[in-house]
Each structure stands twice: as C-alpha cells, then as structure tokens.
Structure 1
Amino acid sequence: MDVASLTSETLLRHLKNQEERVVAKEIDPRKLSIRMLLPGEGRRLAYPSAGDPDDARVWERWRGMVQDHRAQLGELADRLRDMGVDTDIEIRRIPMTPQFKLYVLNGSDMLFGPYEVVRRSITLKGVDGSPQGKPVAAFDVLGAGSTLSYHRWEENEESHDSVFFASMRDWFRSNWECWTDPQIRSEGASDETP
C-alpha cells in the first residue's frame, strides 16, 4: 500500500480495525507492506496553523499527533509480526503541506480525497489531557471526515480512472524517489521505519 497523508490518523484507525479481525481469526493476511509520505516535522506547514503566524502551538500539537501516530504504527506492526504477518512500514518525509490524502492498494485500487481547509478553534491540551487556556483560532483540515473517491486501474489505460490512477501513482513514485536525498529532505534524516 502506498499512502500520502497529513497525519496517518485515518490509516491507523483502519489498521487497528484490521488487527482486531486478525485476532478474531476473521482474516489471515500473510503480508502488510506500507510506504508512506508524511510532511516533514522540521518546519511549519500551511495547516494546521494558528491564525497568529507567531504562535507555533497548533503546529506543535500537530507534530505531537504525528509522532504519537508513528509510535502507534510501530507498535501495531510489532503486534502483527508477533501474529505471523510479514509487516513492513516505511515512512519518508516531504517538505510540503499535503493537499490531499491518497491510498493506493495492491497497485490496482485507489482512494483519493482533497483536504478542505477550515477555520476553527482548537483547544490545546496539557500533558494530562486537560485544556490549556483559551481555544486558539486556527486554519486546519478535518481529514478523518474528508470524502474519498474510489478509482481503479482498468485494462483500458485511456479510461478516466486509469489515467487518473496512473497520474497519482506517478506522483507518489516521483515524491518517494525524489525526497531520499538528505540535503533536500526537510529534516535531513534517514528513512523512518517504525
């Protein structure tokens, strides 16, 4: 599976549901391989961001969410391996704010959804989960509720779905290959594997 997203929250939810199905012996997958593009954490994004450009708290909240999701993905991968599923999750960072989320499944099926930017108030929370101060006016996207459209690779390579599928597959491939150079990459870090 190839994935491009802002936080990996939706993917994590889906994988947890599938893990429950593996535990219940409803499914018996042999392999899970994920390549994921996430924005770099080294510089602020267009969103989520506070309305006040000098206020980094909303961005720092996003960074904490991404780090938490990455840790949960790593733990989930370990549990799946313990259940006999050959699991590989590789994350690469790109120096841009994603405009959409993309899931390419088995090279034949695709889910695509643009992020819609919204203005909203975000309540920042302390380490204990309690609210910290007044809500912050922010620009954000509501990724978990975004509409996903389904596309499929078809034998007719000139069909609407096949053309869109190929263009997005090529977009993913170019970004996956381009941002391997530590000089270009936003954090200058090596690839991450949870």
Structure 2
Amino acid sequence: MSIDQDDPRPPYIQIANQLRAAILTKKLAPGEKLPSGAELAKRYGVARQTVQNGLDILRGEGLIVSRQGSGVFVRERAERPVGLRPHIERAFAAPAVTLDFAGFSGETLFGAVQEPLDRIREGRLTPESISIRILLPDMTIPMGLPCRAEDLADDPDIRERMNRIMLRNTQGITESVAELAELGLVGKTSAEIQVYGGVPLFKLYILNKEEAFFGFYPVVRHSVPINGEQREIFDPMGKNSILFHHSLSEDTDSKDSQFVEQAQTWFDGMWSSVGRGVVVQ
C-alpha cells in the first residue's frame, strides 16, 4: 500500500483504486474487516481525512459498509451494487464514448468511471472521443431535500456540505478526463457540469445513447458532521438503490427502446433549457 508521487491523481483516489482492486480480486474477502483509518493513514503516509475520502468512494459504490463500534467491512455480497460498472466499462470500449448522468452527488459515477479511465491510461482501451455531461441540483439555492430532520427546514450549512461533496466528485471526473487529452491518449474529450433548481429524487445514466439505468433515491434519516457537530438530516441516499436497466433494440416500439429514447430526450431538454453551467475550481 503506497501512494505514487508521480501519479497525477489525488492520493484519496489512488487509495480508493487500490482498495477497490483488492476487493474485486478477492484479496480482501467479503465480510473481511479493513484496517482502521489510523492504520491505513500510517501505511499510506497520508492524513486520516484523505483515507476517509477514499473510503467514502468505496462506500458510495456499495463495496464496503461501516458498522458502528466495529469498523469498516467488505460487503458480504459486493457483486450486486456494482452491476453498473461492467456496462460503463463496455461503453468506454466504443470509438465515441458519451455518458450523460443526472443525479445527486455523482459519487457512484465517480467510482464507476475510474476503472475504464485507468484502462485508457494503460493503453488497453483506445476511444477516439469522450463526452461526459453531469446534471446536478443547484445547492446554492433553498430546496426541500436535503433538510433538517427536526423541522424539515432548508439549511444553508447542509447544502454547503453537499455542495463540497458534489464538487469533489465532479472535479475528480473532469480532471481525469482532461488529463487523457493532455497526455494524447484520447483525441477529443469534454466533461461538462450543469446545475438546475430542483430536488434530486432519482439517478439516471445514459451510455452511448444506447443504454439507460434508472433508480430512485430513498430518503434516509442519518447523522452527519456539520461545523464540528453531528446533525440529524433527511438525505436522498442512492448508494444501494436498485438500478433498472433499459437498452435499445431492433424493435423501436419496445418499452426498453422507448425508455432510452425518452430518457435521452428528457436529459437533452433539461440540459439545453434550465441547466446552468458551473465552474469547478
């Protein structure tokens, strides 16, 4: 376990990638307890918060689970929550890759694209172009969710916390995609982010305009640290939500084909009408 100082990716991404690989190759077995945050920080030579950011990615992908008072464990059945990843990896094998995402924080998307991006760096995938569009709620304006649990009221501090998480994930994606063009590995790349004024109730992935994955965000009550204290909030949480898969077929009148077409039409309409560009710094 070590950080590659020559790797342009942030340390927390490297940590997440190494642990993910160990889990998927069964070097860390289902149900196995991970080393403590302090021990991982010592092994990697980084701050504990850096380790925590890496673990948050894996937690968002459904690969690990925290048990209060016991630690962090590999999920007993890691295969089901990561069902999206093989489809994204296959989508990146196409000459022209397009990926449209609408959702909340982008955590799952961030984790799902890391493997194909790594394969492009290694020369194992060679797309000619990559275009990623990310549509997220505007956390700078009041909204119904996330909200305070005690009175269901909007709270700027809660939104600011969520905004930081969103920016962390989206910046990781935009920087990784831009790097591929800078290295000359992909001829043309773009990764754009837009926000809109609305409550995030579902997540939607559209791959190469051919496949769509749709899932609802369950609203969960949980405690989060805000300004140095634990706060109870209601939060849309999609870490373990079931995704419904639809793909185009020769039968253009089939429900799956119509879903993909309508999902793309909805996304394009939102993007070109109420979506507003953001600058990720």
Q: TM-score, normalised by structure 2?
A: 0.58
SS in 1 for 2:239: helix
Match of 1:122 among 224, 228, 238: 224
Matches of 2:203 and 2:178 in 1, distance apart? 25
Match of 2:167 among 53, 67, 77: 67
Q: Deviations over 1:90-142 (max 9, x none)?
A: 22211101211111111111111111111122233x6xxxxx22x21111122
The one-letter code matched in structure 2 to 1:20 is D
SS in 2 for 1:42: coil
- In terms of Rg, which structure is larger? 2
Cα–Cα, structure 1 residues 35 and 54, in superposed 2: closer, same or farther, change >3 Å? closer
SS in 2 for 1:3: strand
Deviation of 1:48 (Å): 2.0
Number of residue pairs aligned between Structure 1 and Structure 2: 178
Matches of 1:68 and 1:116 in 2, distance apart? 22
SS in 2 for 1:150: strand
Matches of 2:171 and 2:134 in 1, distance apart? 14
Query: Which structure has more RCO (C-alpha within 8 Å, separation ≥ 6)?
Result: 1
Question: Partner of 1:19 in structure 2?
Answer: 117
Contact 1:39 1:98 survives alignment (8 Å): yes
The one-letter code matched in structure 1 to 2:241 is S
Deviation of 1:74 (Å): 2.6
Contact 2:223 2:233 survives alignment (8 Å): yes
Cα–Cα, structure 1 residues 24 and 88, in superposed 2: closer, same or farther, change >3 Å? same
Off by >6 Å, runs of 4+ in structure 1: none
Question: Partner of 1:137 in structure 2?
Answer: 232
Deviation of 1:54 (Å): 6.0
The one-letter code matched in structure 2 to 1:74 is T
The one-letter code matched in structure 2 to 1:3 is F
Contact 1:92 1:179 survives alignment (8 Å): no
Question: Partner of 1:35 in structure 2?
Answer: 133
Question: Partner of 1:99 in structure 2?
Answer: 201
The one-letter code matched in structure 1 to 2:179 is R
Matches of 1:94 and 1:162 in 2, distance apart? 27
Unpaired runs of 5+ residues, structure 1, are: 127-131, 186-190
Cα–Cα, structure 1 residues 193 and 63, in superposed 2: closer, same or farther, change >3 Å? closer
- Superposition RMSD in Å: 2.0
Question: Partner of 1:7 in structure 2?
Answer: 105
Match of 1:45 among 129, 143, 156: 143
Matches of 1:12 and 1:158 in 2, distance apart? 33
Deviation of 1:28 (Å): 2.0
Deviation of 1:39 (Å): 1.0
Q: TM-score, normalised by structure 1?
A: 0.82
Cα–Cα, structure 1 residues 173 and 54, in superposed 2: closer, same or farther, change >3 Å? closer
